[in-house]
Copies of this chain bind each other. A is one copy, B any other.
Amino acid sequence: MTAPGGAARHRPARRPTIKDIARRAGVSESAVSFALNDRPGVSDDTRARVRRVAEELGWQANSAARALSGERAGALGLVLARPARTLGVESFFLQLVSGIQEVLAARKIALLFQVVEDLDTECALYRRWWAERRVDGVLVVDPRTDDPRPELLAALGLPAVAIGGPAGPAPSDQEPDTAPPPLLPTVWADDAKAMARVLDHLHGLGHRRIVHVAGLPGLAHTARRIRSLRTEAALRGLDERQVRSVTTDYSDAEGAEATRRILDDPRPPTAIIYDNDVMAVAGASVAAERGIPVPAALSIVAWDDSALCRVTHPRLTALVRDTPGFGRLAAHELLTVLDGGPPRTVQGELPHLEARESTGPCE
């Protein structure tokens, strides 16, 4: 009783289905399903036999069929909203993604990764993915101080975990502990403590005039770092004229430009903290142009380490964090939520300061 049309001809190599397994093992399709999914209802004998046949046939569950009946897509999403222009030198995301996938691979979950131009497109993509049931949940990066995404995701009912800090409204300055719980489960790094470490280092070297070249003003962690800097400075008796922040778009161009303006100041700082590695290198380059010796006359710290910080001369002191670890944590947290676990706010490992040659005692 051959199927009409000889099904196996023009379709390249028809993949085996549970039906094939059932036939070869001499049981029903449901028995196969039970056997392969570790459900009760079949004897150990049958289970073993079915497993063997499945192995022989090289069977893998068709993800579409499974998704259709099981209501799980078996995939998570990650959208990176960056204008193409600023899609620069970033080891951060590849490392983050690689960490995430370490966790997902073990459970055969795929990651849909998409780079888009702006936040609106990102939101539209969440809607579409969810409507199409392409993903079971998403990881949200680059949380902002005024972020539409948590509300959107909550409204959609799309499970999500924010990476990099509370994506809801920024916690109040006065009483951080009474801040409302963030809308989204979150994994974040303690920027305040990290900033304290940086200031400890610089203050210990005698620096009293410090400028912080921050990233995009709209991002939540930018706000946190700026706030922390103020707080930490105050703790050390430094005021706003001595320690301040300026914001940029993270690009080398704005990093260099900001550095020029800062160094043009009649009383320039003796140390600059850059919110990423690219700007730090750009800043070091500006210093070199002007003949300002680093670290003798100017100390430089990069927030985030990369090969970049090690190839320049002098090599840059940098705040090192375990980015893949961060990704693993986030993925794990999202899976927990999907499994019905409680939405939590968990904290990643505290970054440490890798002191290299770009920071030294203040003259």
State the A residues within 8 Å of B (CB): 11-13, 15, 58-65, 67-68, 71, 73, 75, 80, 84, 87-91, 93-95, 97-98, 101, 105, 108, 110-116, 128-129, 131-134, 156-157, 251-252, 255-256, 278, 281-282, 285, 288-289, 306-308, 310-313, 324
Contacts and interface: CB of A to CB of B under 8 A. Distances in A.
Number of copies of this kind of chain in the complex? 2
A56 B104 CA distance: 36
B278 A133 contact: no
Nearest to A77: B110
A112 B105 CA distance: 13
5 contacts: A84-B95, A101-B116, A112-B113, A278-B307, A308-B308
Given A278-B308, A281-B308, 10 more contacts: A11-B71, A60-B128, A60-B131, A62-B133, A65-B68, A75-B112, A89-B307, A98-B115, A111-B112, A278-B307
Given A64-B67, A95-B87, A311 B111 contact: no
Contact of A64 (B128, B133, B252, B256): B133
A114 B101 contact: yes
A13 B157 contact: yes
A312 B114 contact: no
B281 A15 contact: no
A88 B306 contact: yes
A128 B36 CA distance: 16
A127 to B, nearest CB: 8
Contact of A311 (B62, B97, B256, B306): B256
B108 A111 contact: no
Contacts of A157: 12-13
Nearest to A84: B98
A110 B324 CA distance: 24
Contacts of A282: 307, 311
A145 B313 CA distance: 35
Residue in A59, A101, A278, A324 whose Cβ sees the most chain B Cβ within 10 Å: A278
